[in-house]
């Protein structure tokens, strides 16, 4: 062994210092893009593509797919069902008020991951249930449920969790 002149050779696969800074910059840009993707769910000034009044009587009314959510939704049912799927929706406001007047009816709400739901409703011989909502994300809009439901139910469901995620405890 020759200890007089030790030299260190960098392995061929190691990035150059400037490449490492570039890689870190790309990760930061991707993180910013992820946060912007969450923020773009709210588009102030966007024109709602659906009526703000749902009134199914002995019927079903659905808002699903890509749609622009108005600032306030008035949901009134009489022995009917209303389905609001916010999974692919664009919001006009960071807070959406859903005014409820349900009589022997059902409201089903499907939400994307991270959406905040606040229940200020008053059920009389009815129920409001939530499932798989997960943690609220600060960049996502907020749904506020207000009003009254008589002999009715409101079911709020977050994204479905795969069997593999359930097995791994990610729920």
N-terminal to C-terminal alpha carbon distance within the chain = 57
Instruction: Domain ranges for the chain, please list them.
Output: 53-160
pLDDT at 16 over 70: no
Report the alpha-carbon distance of residue 72 to residue 53 in Å, rounded: 9
6-20, 74-88, 104-118, 141-155: least confident range: 6-20
Return the number of other C-beta atoms located less than 10 Å from residue 108's C-beta: 16
Give this prediction's pTM: 0.72
Indicate the average pLDDT of the chain. Answer: 81
What mean pLDDT is predicted for residues 30-53? 65
């Amino acid at each position: 062994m020759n200890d007089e002149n030790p030299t260190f050779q960098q392995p061929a696969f190691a990035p150059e210092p400037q490449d490492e800074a570039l890689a870190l910059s790309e990760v930061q840009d991707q993180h910013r893009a992820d946060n912007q993707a969450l923020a773009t769910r709210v588009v102030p000034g966007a024109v709602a593509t659906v009526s703000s009044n749902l009134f199914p009587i002995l019927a079903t009314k659905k808002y699903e797919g890509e749609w622009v959510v108005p600032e306030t939704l008035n949901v009134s049912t009489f022995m009917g069902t209303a389905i609001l799927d916010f999974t692919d929706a664009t919001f006009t406001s960071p807070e959406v008020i859903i005014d409820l007047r349900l009589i022997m009816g059902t409201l089903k709400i499907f939400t994307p991951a991270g959406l905040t739901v606040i229940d200020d409703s008053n059920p009389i011989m009815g129920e409001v249930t939530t499932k798989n909502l997960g943690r609220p994300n600060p960049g996502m809009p907020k749904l506020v449920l207000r009003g009254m439901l008589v002999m009715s139910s409101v079911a709020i469901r977050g994204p479905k969790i795969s069997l593999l995620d359930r097995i791994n405890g990610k729920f």
